Structures are given as structure tokens and as C-alpha cells.
Structure 1
Amino acid sequence: MILKNLRIWSREGFAGDCYLTVEGSRIHAIGPMSECPMDGESLDCRGYTAYPGFIDAHSHLGMFDDSIGVEGEDGNESTDPITPQLRGIDSVYAMDRGFADALAAGVTTVVTGPGSANAIAGTFCAVKTYGRIVDEMVIKSPVAMKMAFGENPKGIYGDKSETPSTRMATAALVREQLFKAQRYMQDLEKAAEDPDEDEPEFDMKCEALLPVLRRELPVHIHAHRADDIATAVRICHEFGLRYVLVHATEGHLIADYLAKENISIICGPMINHRSKPELSGFVMDSPTQLAKAGIPISICTDHPEIPQDLLAVSAGLCVREGLPWQTAMEAITWVPAVQAGIEDRVGSLAPGLDADLVLFDTDPLTLEARPALVMANGQIIHKKFTE
């Protein structure tokens, strides 16, 4: 397949009068129309601009099923505040109608997983929004270990008169499990070095945290208030963890502190209201302030907090609040790909990457914009124009 007469957006800006070829599920070549191949099936895309398929860096798509109710709520295992052994991929309902809604809006990849009821909740996975079986849709699993601080864990368990009912207890439970996993890792290493040493008894929670302690797997940390963010950073320092902040609603209040941490932040949901105390500091221009401080940001929907198909609209609202347009576009393409460690597959348009792309004839970050074409894995899923 040859897409002709394209304008193509990249992190370097726009390039006009281009072609893009697709072979199988991958982009094969991109170049000026003067070098366009003459043979093969082609589509004239004059008047349209190609963008990478949009990526949501933090979603619960497929975990809380659309229009099903309690039977489809599989995102929070609220029976134990420490559940690192859970794998989000095991709860993703690939036929949730939210996947089709996402795809129609140009969202071709989501990073999805457990909610924030538990202090350690389990792992997230990166999946395409096109497919029927999650094993055929997955790009990478696991992507990150989910942890949560603040109101949610203490509210869920405090209401049941269980631990944690305070922020102190949430932090203590996370530390305790990390210490256990650290000792477990040390005992495994001793046994591997000395045949006279017995391996520790198998512990699935500790096993799940080994790649976290070895810095092979980052932690995605749900935190809203500035004090919860600081607690999360403190614990990550104690154990030498790699981490990404999720939400960081009051991050703008400590932007200088966070900038020194050399981290990135997943902002959102942006279509929001101050529905609970820890959201009292919510301001629409928080991503703008964080970006000005030099912090890489992505933008998320936190679906089903807001619908998955409103990702680009969310980025557009940030532009309205002063975020540079280029930064906003990178926040739903390149940056989330880097945060998830999948930039070798998606997040930009380049030879060898997955052929996930969207075409627009207008600014895709505006309310009225709809994709004229959506391609995923080299397949045209939606096409709304004729040559």
C-alpha cells in the first residue's frame, strides 16, 4: 500500500508532498513524492496530514467494561492492599466497545491496567485497540508496576476498618513488601552462588517485584497531592526504583522539585472536576506549568474517568491553556511511547515501526476534528474520504 501526496507530522515539524509505503503491518518507507514508487496499490491523500496513531499513557480500558456494570468491573482487587502478582492483561476484555470508540478517534494504543484501590496493584500492559484477543493485541506486558498513594487505598480499606486507613500505613505497606522482595532477591542470589544454600520458598508477590527492584520494570505511581508525590519519590529513592508519576494533580506546585528528579509525568484526566479532597488543587494549566519546568509530559484519559475517545480533545484543552501545540501532540504520541518503553514500535512514523497512523484534514486537537483515515497494524480500519 502506498499513501501518496501526504503531509507528514513528526517531532521535527511538518513535511509536505510525501509518500509513505506499508508492507504487512509495518511502515516500509517514507520520502518525497519525487521518489515515490510507481507500482502497487495506492491511495491519494492530497489535502491530508498523517500523524502517528494516538497513545494513551494511562487508561483502564477493558478493565471496567462499558455498559456492563459490576459484572465487568475487574480493575480493583479490593481484598488485599498489596497485590503485585496481579497482571492487568488477565482482566482486559478485548471486545469492550470502548476499544472501537478509541480506534474511531485515532487512539491505536493504550497502556491499561489495575485501578488505584491497592497500594501495590499489579502490572500494566500496552495493547493495540484493534483486535479480538488481547494476546494478539499486546505490544508489551508488563509495562509497569502500579502503585497508589493518597486517598484511594486508605479510603477503600479504612472504610472496612482494615489497613491502610492512613497515608502512613499505605507507605509502610509498600516499604514492607519491597523489603520482603529485596530479602527474597538476596536469598535467591545466595542460593545461585552457593550450592549449599537453599532457595527461599516460592513467593509470587516477591517474584513479581524482582524486575522492579532490578530496575528492569518501572513503577507507575498514582499520586495527586504534593505530599503524596513526595512520599512516592522518597520510597523510590530508598529502593532505587525507576518511576513515572501518574496524575500529579498538584505537581505544578512543586514543579521545580520534580524537574530536579529527571522524571516524566502522565497528566490527566483533564476533563475533570474537583470531586474529592485530593483534587482540590486541580488546575487546567498544570501540564503547561510542568512542561515549562522542563518535565516531559503525556496526557491521559484515565478511562473510564473520561471516555477513551476524548484523548485528543484533552490534549486540545491543554493547548487552550497555554501548552505549545507541538508539546501537546507529542504528549499523545511520542512521550507515552517512551514512558511505556514501546517507542521501537509506535509513537512516531518511521520505517520499521508499526503502521499505525491517522489522517486529518484539520487540526486533530480541535473539538470538531475527526480522523479521515485510521490505520492499525497496516490495516485501514476507518476511511471517510474518496479519491
Structure 2
Amino acid sequence: MAAPLPGQADAESLERLKALSLQELTATTVSLAVKNQQNLQEAAAAAYVISNEEIRRSGMQSIPELLRKVPGLEVARVDANQWAISSRGFNGAFANKLLVMVDGRTVYDPFNSGVYWNEQDYPLEDVDRIEVIRGPGATMWGSNAVNGVINIVTRTAQESRGALASAGSSQEEPGFGTLRYGGQINPNLHYRVYGKYNHRDDFHFSDGSKAADNLDLGRAGFRSDWTPDARETLTLQGDYFNGTMQQTLTGADAAMPLMSDRTQKQGGNLLLRWQRTLADGSRLQIRSYFDHASRQQIRLDHRRNTFDFDVQHSFRWGNHYPTWGGGYRFNSDQLTQKLALLSFEPDRRDLHLFNMFAQDEWRCSATMSG
């Protein structure tokens, strides 16, 4: 059977598009508001979703640039390699009231009291959607979700099969590129692997001199999805990054550089998620991840290890849809001081956090008679 001509394929796609209802055309899922998949229009929150199609058509090269598309979100560039992102005011490089997650894994850094946005340099071709809630979400997600929540959801391995190569160059980014390959071991087990490199050049001061704030960062990762049956899914994914970031430290007068600080950074994470739809229609999810980060600076060295484990159960009870669960997180920070002017006491901290949550969504249908 011959393949349809491009014009015929476009005509068929247009006809299928015309056959969709208004609800189907506007159907976008979001999982932030109630920790379950639901239609964006049903979410009881100021939610916004950047879809994969929007990402592909935007031509942008980083997640912070994409977040500029979100209404009400404050996105500012601090220098060539750092961003300040927040919602509802109080924006800054150390804004600690915005929770950011990647596939449910928290990327907030307790020591920095913020997010290292230059480390969240994932291939945009593999991002399925970016969900944003502007406003309080701490009831469901924790203390950092005061002004908003951002969840970056990557595509499944089934959706990224085949080879992909992309590269480019610009004035600010002289070189960047991505290599990715996805395949399947058997009909139920799919995988993908990727590698990405990005170099961002220095900004310049008003006199034309370089600000010494360039970035060289490479990262690699993988994801595998196993679906033994229609009710069960097991996902294993991980990432590793390594690079250098340069900054110019200034005093009260920003035009008078004091010293150049070059940071060597590396880290990685491993996430395991299991989901199962039970016989009664309820859903059980178990997620666990380990995250390590290390940064060596001229002033101090910082190492952080995070282990997180949580369980979530959702079910239906009449017109009620309860969701409940709990979790445990262990966070360890260790500092090595290099300058006598600085002192941290203690230089190591271990933090154990336990949490439990429960919510109920009540859906009722009302009838109207004339």
C-alpha cells in the first residue's frame, strides 16, 4: 500500500481535527492540583500548562526561557548562567517559596535556598509538558510551595523511539547539541539514552569587558519504562551532569569586580516509580529517588545527598475521590571551608523529614429543569 501524499495526509489530519469537540480540543491534563491526572479546566487552581507542541514551536533552548510564556510568573536573568524565577513577588536568585520538580523529584536545594536553573538543562525534545500552579500549593506539596509549584514532566520512553541529533550556535551560546536514541527490548520494555552539551558565553559590562560568567555543562541520562500489563507501569530513570560555572564577585559597587569565582559542579540522580491500578479501580503509586550534588568553589566546597521515598493511594468512594499517602526524606549537607573569613557551625547537617497528607474531592452532578 502506497503512503499518502503530503497534501492528502494534511487533508486527513484537518478532517480529524474538525471532527473533534470543543472539550476534546481544549483537553489538557494536569497533575499538580490534586496529585492526580485531571482536566486543566477542572483544576481548582491558577494552573497553566506548556505542551510539547508549544515547546517544539517556541524555538527556545532552555526551561527558564520557556517559563517566560507563563502568565503571572516572574522570570529574570541574573547573569549569563543564572536565573531568578518566582511567582507573586519576592523574586530573586535565592527565592525559596517556589517548589520545582522534575517528574515528581524535587530539585530545590536547601543550602542555596533556591533552584540551580542552569543544572536543569534537559533536552527539550524529551519534555512532555511543564505544569505551573501560581499560588499556594503547600497543603499538598510542602513548605516550598508557598507562591507556586512547577513540575517538569518528561515523555515516556515509548514516545521517544528512534535517533535524534540537534546542534546549533548563537552569539550567547556558541555551541550546544543533543544526541538521543530510543528503542525497545521487547513490546513491554522501552528505553532511551541521551547526551547534551551546552556552552554559554560571558556577558559584557558597559565598558565592553567580559563579565566572566560563562557556563560549560554536559549531561547524560536514560529512561526505561516497563508495562507488563495495562494496569502496571515501572519506570527507572537517571541523569548525570558535570561542568563549570564562572562568576564575578562584586562589592557594594557592582562596576568594581573583586574576584572571579569558578565553580566545578557535578551530580546525578536515580528515580524509581511504580504505579498499579488495582482491581477495584483504585491506584497505588510508590516513588523513590536518590540525588547527589557536589560543587567546588573558591570559598567552599558543598556536597549534598538526598533520599526520598513516598507512597500515594487514590480510590473512589461514591461521589468522593480520596487521595492519601505519606513519605520520608533524608537530606545530608556537608561544607568544607577554604577561606578563614568564612565559618559554618556546624559544617554538616543531617535532616530527617516525615510527611503525611490526605484530601477528598467531591464531585456532584446537578440537574436543572425549566
| TM-score normalised by length of structure 1 | 0.28
Larger radius of gyration: 2
| TM-score normalised by length of structure 2 | 0.29
* Higher RCO (C-alpha 8 Å, min separation 6): 1
Question: Greater strand share, 1 or 2?
Answer: 2
